[in-house]
Structure 1
Amino acid sequence: MTNNVFFDYFAFSSKIDSPYSLIQLLNLNEENWLNSKGFHGYRQQLYCGGIHIHFDGQDNMGVCLEMSGSGCRMFEDNGGNFIDLIRYCLDNKDEINITRIDVSYDDFTGCLDLYQIESDIVAGNYRSRFRAFPIERIHSKSIDKRTFTIYCGSKQSEIMFRIYDKKAEQKADCAHWVRFEIQLRRERAEVFAGLCIENSINSLFRGVIVNYLTIVENNESDSNISRAVIKPYWLKFLDDVSAVKLTKQADDYTTSNLQRFVERQLPSALVAYIALFGFDEFLELLNRRSRVKLNVRHQSLLDKAKLDVIGNFDSLVVL
């Protein structure tokens, strides 16, 4: 077994697909799927080998595809290519929303020592964008069943690292097996997917880690952690790659993004506001808000369109 980086979870929602068009997209046989109760607000789902296709929700929900680790392997074993799947999602990004991507690294050679990583984190020998490092332990009378998982960041955030003893979890017959997982949601998943089109998943995986976590040597004579030397085992693991940021630039935000947000997130609140306070008050609210400093993404859209929002709402007429 060799160390490798791979997709370990992939999920998106689509308003242009049906359950059966997704099965065809994944190049899978339509006959092997089981129908059962759905999740995430959907009434039904089709399930096969770690792949879930949720459907029969509200009119604007479309369908939802989820592939666990085993589902990702089945997809690839049947000739599926994640880069092609990502291209399909991004080519239809106004109707398809990538919600989660997990990318994992399996270490079989001993490069990552779970106890050493824990020791360095507890000792504060790191630079990181994460504020918390929860550690979950599994206790057992059998020594070989005792293990723990290091979480970097919050489970509710858009990015989280998970490091654990895969050998103990799987009771595998091998000398060493530590898994390092990056879990990405929403915007972080979408940005990572876009970067996958022109970059290798290996370099992206390590680049994201460089941007969020670096294990360093303890230097009691210098309190400035930014000058600390990277520990040799961490440097070997990351292979001297450059940091990869997973934030959208203002130029990436388009009128389609704005329209999609308003159509999906605001209608209910707007209807209730107008019903309670009247349309004149709504127009007055717009005029008041137009005079405050706009979000940089929204201001960028107005600048491109050469529009000045101040005062533009006074002429609105209700038909």
Structure 2
Amino acid sequence: MQNIIELPNLSFCIDWVTVSLPFESDKERIIELCKTLNWDWTQLSVGRGGTNGYLYKNTFGYISLLYGTPKGATSMGTCIVLSGKACRQLESLGFNWVEFLSDLLSLGAKFTRLDLAIDDYYGFLNISTMKHYIDNKFVTSRFNRTNYNEQMDTNGNKTAEMLSLGSRTSNIYIRFYDKKLEQKISNDSISVWNRYEIELKKDQANTAANILINNEEDGITLVRKLLANYINFKDLNSTGKNKTRWKNAEWWDDFLDNCKGLSLAKPLEETTLLQKIIWVKNAMSSTLKMLTIALDNKGLVLQFVDDSITLTELNIKNAKLAIESTPRDKHEVITFINDLHQAVKNEGLGDNYER
């Protein structure tokens, strides 16, 4: 009789981590880094060469540490790459993910890739069914691209199945696939094993890491909310032109378990007075100088600027920025203007405004 492995319906895992650290390393610095992260530095092995442009590569099991910027290149810092196997390696050592991610942040790490996944041992989702809904347009999605891949052996048995959303080069890429088939588990010790994985890059990866570190969401809830933000499968009996008003398919809502969509996109930051004046200098100075040379009359150009200021009406956003500017905001701008003027005087480039 086949033994059945008892597993939770859903479990969360981190399946890839790539971070860049803002410092160059040598052998001694790599050893110190390993000590900080509680890794056994005596197990480090030296690779044949770096990857991703780095000169050197050390490995600790499946973990890769890349360092060494080529001569003449902009500093690349130090890079840590944890593949899926490396993540499982660390978990086998009994470490804590939140503490580890926090340690990385304390070192000034920037996450360039972070893969979050749910392992489904219950069968909440059926990948073939999901493809059917997509093919028949009973879905709302932020992605323009989907790809379905199914492989069979010569006997007609399915050997692989994956549904992917988005592009591997974008900041978010989603995969739904049959993990049991991928792992070639042919017996019935595990009846179902699907994996739903989100590959995050750059700002998206950093935001997700901070959510986990600050315990704002548990891993399963975070993945559910991200999936709900990017795709929703709709009831097959839905009608009407506005798909966003269609009811979700019952099986999709069962999986989401009341989780609503969460976006990792950073809100647009409010523009400051200092940013505005820097923009004016960078964007308009060249044109104003061209006019001054062409007209051979700096005073006339400055008169034009003064008249333009007088006649221009502020939009609501800029009016609010002017009215609500703080003493600190004003001080930053005044300092910038005075520093620029002093630099001109120091170079002996100043002249009279009038000709």
Alignment-derived partner of residue 12 in structure 2: 5
Contact 1:98 1:186 in 2 (8 A): yes
- Aligned to 1:61, the other structure's residue is in SS state coil
> How much does 1:181 deviate?
0.3
Whether 2:153 is the aligned partner of 1:140: answer: yes
Provide the residue aligned with 1:239 in structure 2: 257
Describe how 1:116-127 pairs up with structure 2 within 5 A.
116-127=129-140
3-state SS of 2:15 partner: strand
How many aligned residue pairs are there?
285
Q: Would the alpha carbon gap of residues 234 and 282 (structure 1) be closer, same or farther in structure 2, given more than 3 Å must change?
A: closer
1:226 aligns with 2:244: yes
Counterpart of 2:22 in structure 1 is 15
Dislocated runs of 4+, deviation >6 Å: 280-283, 308-311
- Deviation for aligned residue 1:20: 1.9
Q: Compared with structure 1, are the counterparts of its residues 143 and 178 closer, same or farther at alpha carbon in structure 2 (3 Å cutoff)?
A: farther
Counterpart amino acid of 1:48?
F
* Identical-pair percentage: 24
1:198 maps onto 2:198 in alignment: no
> 1:103 corresponds to which residue?
116
Q: Rg: which structure is higher?
A: 2
Question: Cα distance 1:303–1:63, how it changes in 2: closer, same or farther (>3 A)?
Answer: farther
CA distance in 1, matches of 2:284, 2:227: 47
CA contact (8 A) 2:37 2:103 kept: no
Q: Aligned pair 1:24/2:35, yes or no?
A: yes
Letter in 1 for 2:53: G
Moved more, 152-161 or 50-59: 50-59
Distance in 2 between residues matched to 1:157 and 1:34, nearest whole Å: 33
**Cα deviation digits, residues 259-301 of structure 1 (max 9, x gap):** xxxxxxxxxxxxxxxxxxxxx999934979xx9x9xx9xx98x
User: 137-146 or 57-66: which moved more?
Assistant: 137-146
For 2:225 and 2:329, the matched residues in 1 are separated by 37
Q: Offset at 1:177?
A: 1.3
2:302 equivalent in structure 1? none
What's the offset of the Cα at 1:214? 0.9
Aligned to 2:352: none
1:146-200 deviation line (CA, Å, top 9, x unaligned): 3232111111100110111111111113322111100000000011111111221
Structure 1 segments unaligned to the other structure (5+ residues): 259-279
Aligned partner of 2:56: which letter? Q
Instruction: State the partner residue of 2:143.
Output: 130
TM-score (norm 2): 0.71
**Residue 64 of structure 2: aligned partner:** 52
TM-score in terms of structure 1 length: 0.78
Aligned-pair distance for 1:216? 0.9
CA distance in 1, matches of 2:133, 2:246: 13
CA distance in 1, matches of 2:36, 2:16: 17
SS of the residue corresponding to residue 146 of structure 1 reads strand
Query: Which of 197, 203, 226 matches 1:208?
Result: 226
User: Per the alignment, do residues 142 and 227 of structure 1 end up closer, same or farther by CA in structure 2, a change over 3 Å counting?
Assistant: same
Distance 1:22-1:232 versus aligned 2 partners, 3 A rule: farther
- The residue that corresponds to 1:263 in the other structure is none
Compared CA separation, residues 186 and 114, structure 1 to 2 (3 A): same
Other-structure match for 1:161: 174
Between the aligned partners of 2:82 and 2:270, the Cα distance in structure 1 is: 27
How far apart are the structure 2 equivalents of 1:215 and 1:281? 48
Cα 1:78–1:244, aligned 2, differ >3 Å: closer, same or farther? same
Residues 33 and 282 of structure 1: CA distance in aligned 2, closer, same or farther (over 3 Å): same
The verdict on how the C-alpha distance between 1:123 and 1:49 changes in structure 2, with shifts beyond 3 A counting, is: farther
- Counterpart of 1:61? 76
Gaps in structure 2 of 5+ consecutive residues = 1-6, 276-280, 290-308, 348-355
Cα gap change, 1:115 to 1:281, in 2 (>3 Å): closer
Residue 189 of structure 1 corresponds to 205
CA contact under 8 A between 2:15 and 2:116: conserved in structure 1?
yes
C-alpha separation in 2, matches of 1:285 and 1:133: 46
* Residues 205-263 of structure 1 deviation map (CA, whole Å, 9 limit, x = unaligned): 11111111111113453121011111111111111112211012345999xxx9xxxxx
- Could you tell me which amino acid in structure 1 is paired with residue 18 of structure 2? A
The alpha-carbon distance between structure 1 residues 83 and 119, as it changes in their structure 2 partners (threshold 3 A), is same
2:53 pairs with 38, 41, 66, which one?
41
| CA deviation string 1:32-89 (max 9, x = no partner) | 2221121111111112332111112247222100111111122122232221222233
Q: In the aligned structure 1, how far is the partner of 2:260 from the partner of 2:171?
A: 21
Distance 1:118 1:248, change over 3 A: same
